[in-house]
Amino acid sequence: MRMIAILSSVVFALASLAAASQTPAKAPQDPQQLVAQTPPMGWNSWNFFFEKVTDKDIRNAADQLVATGMKDAGYVYVNIDDTWEGQRDANGVLHSNEKFPDMKALADYVHSKGLKIGIYSSPGPQTCARYEGSLDHEAQDAQLYAEWGIDYLKYDLCSFIPGVMQKQAHDDKAAQMRLMVAAYAKMDKALKAAGRPIVFSLCQYGWDAVWEWAPSVGGNLWRTTGDITPDWDRIYAIASQQAGLERYAGPGHWNDPDMLEVGNGKLTLAENRSHFSLWAMLAAPLLAGNDLPNMKPEIKAILTNRDVIAIDQDRLGKQGTRAYSEGEVDVWTRTLSGGAMAIAVINAGDSRYSTHPFHLNLNQLGLHGPQSGKDLWTGKPITLSDGQPLELARHDVLLVRIDAPR
């Protein structure tokens, strides 16, 4: 698994190197850019509820974001994923299904809590869960979202692949990709015409170097990989695939390594911490996906760690880089505003490092001499020295902020 992750990240990095050297910038007056100046933060229904989500679950999530202090920590989007869609009426107007009796009332409720609301669709005839998609109804759907007061749209390729790309372009891959880009551009245009700033989230699993063209079709974030699962190997593989993509991220346009699994499945506390730390280093959108009403205190402590969130939300918007790897330890660095820096050391291996301590090489990070910082998981001051042996538990992380690196 680890070898596959390394190989795929090497292939990925090479592909990125060969790619265009400049990220297409969006015009600063573009309202869609202004909505995501820092990576979007919130909660999405999919990773815990999947297709079972209801209106009540969304209201509960909104209530819990407020009650747990997550809203105050920055989590503002409450995003309904797939399976809210009903049928179109004779005029083509889409209605929500019986699980969501009144979308406008739901949006009003979420807004009344000082939060924002997101929704989900597909450019294809159907969504991934085989509910109604937006194909040929883009303008109508965008208008509907605006009328309901929707603030965020996740647009998931899915049935557009067999339904349009393969049907219309057969085996011509380049023509298929042009159809895909045009489909996202079409929804971007529809959202802009609807007149409400709506965060536009592209979900097409990183195909066709999406990071190169997503900003030009109004994308505020774009998935870079297939789906995440609450499992360390998958989380680590996804994080590894982000190395090399850092130059495509910035205010208004972000790489999206998928929604958080913090608090889901059988992830250990160390794995939850490492997952959250990596996403912060990656300037990733922080969309929690856990069972908020039953959140354990230690999970809440991870999701609301203000110091870690501040790394993610740093206003410079510079995504972190994997500085080097040694054995099964990865060292990531991130440049922060005001000349500060974050360092994350991840033990991706299955053993504790007490028998084989890892020696942090500060020179390799461009640092000289001992560095004073803050350990963001203990909250205590820490001094890092060159060659200092570090002991990290299995899948655990050392995350340090250095305000004045030398």
Active centre residues (catalytic): 156, 227
If one asks whether residue 81 binds ligand GLA (CB under 6 A), the answer comes out as yes
- Residue 218 and residue 182: Cα distance in Å, rounded? 12
Q: What is the rounded distance in angstroms from the CA atom of residue 2 to the CA atom of residue 214?
A: 30
Q: Which of 94, 106, 128, 278 binds ligand GLA (CB under 6 A)?
A: 128
Binding-residue total with ligand GLA (CB under 6 A) = 9
Of residues 219, 223, 222, 211, the one with CA closest to residue 192: 219
The site string for ligand GLA over 315-354 (x = CB under 6 A, - otherwise) reads ----------------------------------------
Restricting to residues 192-251, which ones interact with ligand GLA according to CB under 6 A?
203, 227
- Tokens 């998931």 label which residue? 156
Which residue in this structure is represented by tokens 């939300």? Answer: 313
Joined together, the tokens standing for residue 227 give 């789906």
Count of positions (residues) in the chain: 406
User: 57, 85, 138, 156: which one contacts ligand GLA (CB under 6 A)?
Assistant: 156
By beta-carbon proximity to ligand GLA, the closer residue of 51 and 212 is: 51
CA-based nearest residue to 213, from 31, 23, 29, 40:
23
Contacts with 48 (C-beta within 8 Å, 6 or more apart), sequence order: 264, 289, 290, 291
Nearest distance, CB of residue 79 and ligand GLA, angstroms: 10
Stretch that binds ligand GLA, among 15-23, 122-130, 139-147, 373-381 (CB under 6 A): 122-130
The verdict on 129 binding ligand GLA (CB under 6 A) reads yes
Rounded to the nearest 5°, which phi and psi values hold at 184?
Answer: -70, -40
In the complex, least distance from residue 219 CB atom to ligand GLA, rounded to whole angstroms: 15
Which residues on neighbouring strands pair with residue 322, listed in sequence order? 332
Angle ∠(50,93,113) on CA atoms, nearest 5 = 55
Q: How far is the CB of 150 from ligand GLA (least distance, A)?
A: 16
Q: How many Cβ atoms from other residues are within 10 Å of residue 231's Cβ?
A: 15
If binding is defined by CB under 6 A, does position 132 make contact with ligand GLA? Answer: no
- If the CB atoms of residues 100 and 353 are measured against ligand GLA, the closer one turns out to be 100
Q: To the nearest whole angstrom, how small is the minimum distance from the Cβ of residue 128 to ligand GLA?
A: 3
Please, which of residues 35-74 interact with ligand GLA by CB under 6 A? 46
Least Å from the CB of residue 286 to ligand GLA? 15
Binding site for ligand GLA (CB under 6 A): 46, 81-82, 127-129, 156, 203, 227
